[in-house]
Chains A and B, each alone.
Chain A
Amino acid sequence: MSMSVIRAAEIKIAEAKKNGLIKGPVHLGVGQEAIAVGVSKNLRNSDRIFGAHRSHSHILGVDNDLHKLFAEVLGRNTGFSYGMGGSMHLASKSKGFLGSVPIVTGTVPLALGAGLASKLQKSGDIAISYLGDGATEEGVFHESLNFARVSNIPILFVVENNLFSSHMHMSLRQPLNTINRFAKAHKIETRLIDGNDVVEIYRTTSEFIRKMRSKPEPYLIEAITYRWFGHVDWREDIDVGVARSKKDLLNWKKRDPIKRLSDAMINKKIWTKEKQDTLDLKVDELIDENWEKALKDDFPDRKSLLDNVYKYD
């Protein structure tokens, strides 16, 4: 799915949250779309992808069903998780998106196990673990890097370093400002890249994944980026936390991954302003159509409260 659609979907969700249509918390990744899109282009349905709390882009990257995302954030039974998850618990089994949850770092060891399973099954499939800079402060992240290395597990850790964990800037949480040092400490090949450059993300991921499929090994990408909204919901949060100023936000908006790609393509004369405008209109229509459809869907049956606690009755 394209960055533009992901952007527009999240802006729609932001509005609906503000208007009270969405009940649960939503963690928006507007500004960070390039990472999921660049990574996902290298994946196949049998790969195993795990996300976290800010994972709308991660699931849309491999499953372009906007209606299911909208239905899920609205708690409808047609959603990605049949209305049982909401924004923070998304899955699409058939596309290899095996779950996103809001416990920070909670899915990192799960992705590790998914990679281990792939190695034992000799499938050539790989595991993707999306995590943020805050997640690297949990102990289990370091355990996972170590285990991945000593057991040669085919897992790609994709660290979206947006410089903030909730309200706290990285400089207040860690002594150094990049996290790829942890990969180096565990002899894991790593690269620090521009998280707002979709081409660079695609190329780096492509190179790593090609190697992983032929020889199971872990890799780590640190992609530097910035989220336009605050930690949760629709506010920009330019007045909370430390070092998240309006000036910083405006500067980062100049590094908008979508505009950068579009401008670069126009410069190279493989794209035009007119085409971009037409695309934007089409995206808006797509968003509205799927949103309206989701709004008409049903909530889960009240009788289903106890369903699926166990697979066995």
Chain B
Amino acid sequence: MCINMIRTSYSDAILSGFDYLLKNYPEVFVLGQGLWSPWYVGNTMKNLDKKYGKDRIIDTPVSESACTGAAVGASICGMKPIIVHPRMDFMLYAMDSIVNQAAKWSYMFGGQLNAPVTIRSIINRGGSQGAQHSQALHSWFAHIPGIRVVMPSTAQDARDLLISSVLCPDPVIYIDDRWLYEQTANLGPIKETPLNAITPKCLKEGDQITIIGSGYSTLLALKASNKLNCDGIDAEVFDLRVLNPLNSKNLLDSVLKTKRLLVIDSGWKSCGMASEVITSIVEQIPTDTLIDQPRRITLPDCPAPSCEVHEKDYYPNEEKIIKFINDEYYF
């Protein structure tokens, strides 16, 4: 019976993923800014420094570039480092180590070396934080061959995909979203799953429209789809989970069934993840499959505003999604 099961929050699930990795893999260590602080990374790293020591949980100088590079270098030497960026915006200082070095280390040297680093990057937005404290840049990284991009949307995946990411022999960017930290789930026992076996997951079955999200967008899709049921619209919801390399097989099957496609993304529209998902599906289905043209809900193409009035217009929400579906599709 589920009655006695304890529901775990998304943020606690991340913490339990770290705990599992640090306990079972001596080659795992973590570095990044704020790791010894109780408020920097929510409670997702709470007391790990006390439990595993400050040698393995390293709070670093304000040097994203050197610290990310150091994580990449350590990973080349048999360690499984996790570099934590408490806010994705600051991670841009580290682009060389991620894009030029980690992503290409295996390819450039003919496979004799690899950089199994995990780069944990947190999306932290809203609350009038403005243009430089808000970005969700997963699409950028998903463009780069050689880096796997992971975005968990559920508490279960927050823990399990962190473990899969760290154990993966390739560099992985693991992106969690603070807007998801209060989500809860009954977590089963940990079972290690290779990251390349993770495919988009169906979170709700339906047969009238396929809605695809990633990270927080998946939660929005799920909430909207539950309400859409009351309007008689039966939506199927998929969570991408791994954005690069993208495996679109089961998405394709879903669209062939529902014949309608909507992608919701927490990034911008231009050259974004939504475009990639739609294209990768549409180019594989007969032209007369879709009843309505494929659509996307994204951020408008402007930086995140600070003013709360603009902010309400800027971010997608449940109501906007329901209205969009009712207005743009014919059921």
Contacts and interface: CB of A to CB of B under 8 A. Distances in A.
A311 B111 contact: yes
Q: Dominant SS at the A interface?
A: mixed
Contact of B65 (A93, A109, A114, A118): A109
Contacts, number: 161
B74 A117 contact: yes
Which 6 pairs from chain A and chain B are nearest by CB?
A109-B69, A113-B73, A82-B110, A110-B73, A143-B66, A113-B70
Contacts of B194: 312
B100 A110 contact: no
Q: Dominant SS at the B interface?
A: mixed
A185 interface: no
A313 B100 contact: no
A309 B145 contact: yes
B145 A91 contact: no
B109 interface: yes
Contact of B63 (A50, A91, A146): A146
Contacts of A54: none
Given A99-B109, A311-B111, A106 B100 contact: yes
Interface of A: 48, 50, 80-85, 89-91, 93, 98-99, 101, 103, 106-118, 120-121, 127, 139-140, 143-144, 146-147, 150-151, 307-313
A310 B113 contact: no
Interface of B: 29, 55-56, 58, 60-61, 63, 65-79, 81, 96-97, 100-101, 105-114, 116, 145-146, 148, 168-170, 194-196, 245
B84 to A, nearest CB: 15
Given A99-B76, A311-B170, A91 B113 contact: yes
Nearest to B76: A98
A85 B110 contact: yes
6 contacts: A81-B108, A99-B105, A109-B65, A113-B71, A140-B66, A143-B65
B110 A309 contact: no
Contact of B109 (A89, A109, A139): A89
A112 B69 contact: yes
Tell me which of B106, B148, B169 has the highest count of chain A C-beta atoms within 10 A of its own C-beta.
B106
A194 to B, nearest CB: 30
A147 B168 contact: no
Contact of B74 (A80, A81, A116): A116
Given A98-B77, A116-B73, A151-B58, A311 B114 contact: yes
Given A113-B69, A140-B69, A312 B170 contact: yes
B111 A82 contact: yes
B235 to A, nearest CB: 32
